[in-house]
Amino acid sequence: MFTLSNQLVSRIPDKEPKQARSWRETVRISFHPRVISMLFLGFSAGLPLLLIFSSLSIWLREADVSRSTVTYFSWAALAYSFKFVWAPLVDRLPLPMLTRWLGRRRSWLLLAQLSIIGSLLFMAGNDPLDNLMMTAIGAIMLGFSSATQDVVIDAYRIEAVDNNWQAMMSSSYITGYRVGMLVAGAGTLKLASGFAGGEDGYHYMAWSLAYLCMAGMMGVGILTTLLIPEPNVDRQSSIAGVYSTQDYLRFLGLFVITVGVFVGGFVLLSTSVVSAKTALNSGPFIGFLVESVRILLCVFIALLTGRCLIGIELVSKQMVRETYIAPFTDFFSRYGKTALFILMLVGSYRVADIVMGVVANVFYSDMGFTKDQIANITKTFGLLMTIAGGFVGGVLTIRFGVLRILWVGALLAAVTNLLFALLAGMAPQSLMLAVVIAADNLSGGIATAAFIAYLSGLTNRAFTAMQYAIFSSLMTLLPKVLGGYSGSMVDALGYQTFFIVTAVMGLPVLALVSWIIRLERR
């Protein structure tokens, strides 16, 4: 384990194992019921993701929705990037009857999973060819529900066992998550193809039945939630006050009002944004800046509204401080000035990977690969490579340390994007696609294993849900906002140049990790 010699560097989270474990002990831990349960919860968390991204993008593309509109649908998953806003509700608010029956974590987990099923049923009942808006609403509902499920599972994973078991819990979670993505990716494509009878063209009922099957697969998560025990965590140590039901309802009302103000402002400003883009004759970059100003303005108005409501004592000021302010002050007090650089690293680490990934399935389709080829190579074979990469990443992290493998993962993510640029300049070949997918998913598995270990180590158990939600939300916010413009970037630049640009996006990440490593070596 590394020894940090000065006060500034000691604030960097220490992720190295206290002592080496034998293979027998490692195998014993890997079959513990708590670890196995994370496999199934990971499956439940991974299933909805591709039903918003890749599988939905192919469905929309077959329904003759434009490429730029398809990539805009990736914004439906922005709930993952803003989940820290309602993560405190998961920590604070008890659910009527459910909390008394299942406990704080499991009650919210069951509610989120039932909401995911309802969202999938809603999407299956609406044809994007006839009502694209309803499909978009369903995608937003699915993003919000699945992001809430992620908040609860992350908190459960950290609270269910002590720190010495976190690496194994994360490894099991990642494996289940990838299996869930395989079922939602390759499984949905194969089901849609099978229900269509192998016929070419667009078949709404085939896609609808496929999404209904995915709703049924969420039964795995519900069954796991009902069987696992509630974590035994003393929450009173971080909660100074004891609040009444009326206090909780007022707190929920504050959240609903501020979110409503944000959404209302965002909708009302849409006409102004369109006018600004037209006046500026905007391309993708200017469009991104205009949308960023729009989001920031709406956030400011929502925060101002919330502050006014707190000022008139709609909710307890003490409750707001304990819920939203204390997790931030705790993090900055522990890491000091280094916290800013840590947050910059968290916010930019996956930018090259996510921006490229938004348009990946559209790229495969435009290149001429069939649904079966996409399912077999990019999903099934890709899953095996990702799991292998996760295992390799875990071993390398134990041997060389988290920060070094973070650097290696960032480098590999940039390099593998250049392989996609090479693939874009060739005729469609299954072998070359398999080589590119193997390299990309192996590197992604290595980076993910190290990154989750890093994020888990940043979290204080006194504020588990809130702090981890902040880190995981920040992790995807910038990449997903940029990813929404990936279709427009491809239209303007072409696939080869686009992939090269995404590779260059990874260079600042290498600089950030290198800077933190240099601090550690002092």
DSSP string, 387-423: HHHHHHHHHHHHHH-HHHHHHHHHHHHHHHHHHHHHH
Tokens of residue 91, six digits: 């920590």
Per-residue confidence (pLDDT) for residue 514, from 0 to 100: 86
Q: Which of 96-100, 364-368, 397-401 ranks highest by mean pLDDT?
A: 96-100
- Report which of 454, 451, 416 is spatially closest to residue 435, judged by C-alpha positions: 416
User: Is 209 within 8 Å of 227 (Cβ atoms)?
Assistant: no
- Report which of 227, 443, 421, 287 is spatially closest to residue 353, judged by C-alpha positions: 443
Per-residue confidence (pLDDT) for residue 325, from 0 to 100: 83
Distance of CA 404 to CAs 310, 339, 399, 515, Å? 45, 19, 10, 11
**Dihedral, 311, 314, 316, 317 alpha carbons, nearest 10:** -20
Cα–Cα–Cα angle for 410, 416, 420, nearest 5°? Answer: 140
HEC-encoded secondary structure of 243-279: CCHHHHHHHHHHHHHHHHHHHHHHHHCHHHHHHHHHH
Q: Residue 431, Cβ neighbours under 10 Å: how many?
A: 8
User: Is 373 within 8 Å of 433 (Cβ atoms)?
Assistant: yes
Per-residue confidence (pLDDT) for residue 3, from 0 to 100: 32
Q: What CATH number labels 29-243+316-521? A: 1.20.1250.20
- Report which of 13, 5, 70, 68 is spatially closest to residue 401, judged by C-alpha positions: 13
Q: Which of 37-46, 88-97, 274-283, 370-379 ranks highest by mean pLDDT?
A: 37-46
In this prediction the pTM is 0.70
Averaged pLDDT, 24-46? 79
- Domain positions in the chain are 29-243+316-521, 244-315
Q: Any residues with CB less than 8 A from the CB of 236 and at least 6 apart, and which?
A: none
Higher-confidence position of 429 and 45: 45
Q: How many residues does the chain have?
A: 522
Per-residue confidence (pLDDT) for residue 288, from 0 to 100: 66
Per-residue model confidence as pLDDT tens digits over 75-123: 676 677 678 777 877 877 788 888 888 988 899 999 999 999 999 999 9
Higher-confidence position of 51 and 479: 51
Q: Grade residue 227 by pLDDT with cuts at 50, 70 and 90.
A: very high
Per-residue model confidence as pLDDT tens digits over 122-155: 999 999 888 888 888 898 899 889 989 998 998 8
Q: What distance separates the 2 farthest-apart alpha carbons in the chain? A: 67
Average pLDDT value over all residues in the chain: 79
Q: Grade residue 19 by pLDDT with cuts at 50, 70 and 90.
A: very low
DSSP string, 149-199: HHHHHHHHHHHHS-GGGHHHHHHHHHHHHHHHHHIIIIIHHHHHHHHTTT-
- Residue 448 clears pLDDT 60, i.e. is over it: yes
Q: How far does Cα 316 stand from its chain's mean position? A: 32
